[in-house]
A = this chain, B = another copy of it.
Amino acid sequence: MRFLRICFFSLFAVLSSSAYALTDAQMFEVMRFMAEKPKPDVTVNGIGIYVYDGINSLDALGPYRVFMTAGLKPFLIAKNRGTITTNDNLKIQVDKSIADVTKLDILVIPGGAAETVAQTKDPVTLAWIQQIDANSLYTTSVCTGSWILGAAGLLQGKNATSNWYRAKQILAKYGATFQPKRWVQDGKYWTSAGVSAGIDMALAIVVNLYSHDYAQAVMLDLEYDPQPPIRGGSLAKTALVPRRNMTWMYDFYLLDSFVRSK
């Protein structure tokens, strides 16, 4: 809401005489309410979401929207400036490269599938993540983004979660202990379960940074009162047939080439 707050102040100067929608007392309360600052102040070095070709769009853009709604102005960062293409064929312009960004308060690493495996083997990416982590206040991942944090050596000895697919086995490769939760905090390391879980994790960080009232305002702006139309969304809540077919599908691509590889 910081963005709206800025608009609000400038509009206030221009329109205050004509803004009969609000009384002076209401106006004063709204301005005070919106002025709340995050603690710690994660706007010093900001919130960066690392993106790459083949990310799952919602892994990145769910947390992006949550942090933006809180007024925290997150930004996307890619290896090089330009356009990235998500695994669902969105083409998104990225204005910052890893060379442009040396410090972040919050780092978010989204996931994907084959291209995420490739990131776990990219020494330039991993070195940049280690550099950012050296000064970050929160180092986080969504979905299979935990594979990249793990490959960067940052989950060694930590509790973590990940996308549902063979999470215990894959996190163990990186010395992490899987906790079957929607998101897991271990010190400054926050990891979330698959795709949509990044929204919950980002909101949990907002709750961590702000008053309960402010966090509720963010949730109302997102109207975040989810109601899945049917039971599902986790291994435990999914019937045998879809569960095993989805596991086999990912096994086909990833079991030998990634999960069982060293």
Which residues in A have some Cβ–Cβ distance to B below 8 Å? 1, 3-4, 8, 11, 19-22, 26-27, 29-30, 33-34, 56-58, 61-62, 64-65, 68-69, 73, 76, 83, 88-93, 143, 163-164, 182, 193-197, 199-200, 203-204, 207, 212-217, 219-235, 237-239, 241-246, 248-249, 251-253, 255-256
Contacts and interface: CB of A to CB of B under 8 A. Distances in A.
Contacts of A68: 88-89
B33 A245 contact: yes
A245 B207 contact: no
Contact of A226 (B64, B200, B221): B200
A216 B238 contact: yes
Contact of A216 (B193, B215, B242, B253): B242
Contacts of A214: 242
Contacts of A27: 248, 252
B30 A252 contact: yes
B200 A222 contact: no
A54 to B, nearest CB: 12
How many copies of this chain?
2
A29 B65 contact: no
Contacts of A195: 65, 221-224
A213 to B, nearest CB: 5
B20 A223 contact: no
A172 to B, nearest CB: 19
A46 B237 CA distance: 30
A244 B4 CA distance: 16
Contacts of A228: 200, 203, 219, 224-226
B227 A200 contact: yes
B223 A234 contact: yes
List 10 A-B pairs, minimum CB-CB distance, nearest first: A194-B223, A225-B233, A219-B232, A91-B93, A226-B226, A217-B242, A224-B233, A21-B255, A204-B229, A68-B88
Q: Which of A91, A219, A253 has the most CB of B within 10 A?
A: A219
11 contacts: A22-B251, A58-B65, A68-B89, A182-B225, A200-B227, A200-B228, A207-B229, A213-B239, A220-B232, A222-B233, A226-B226
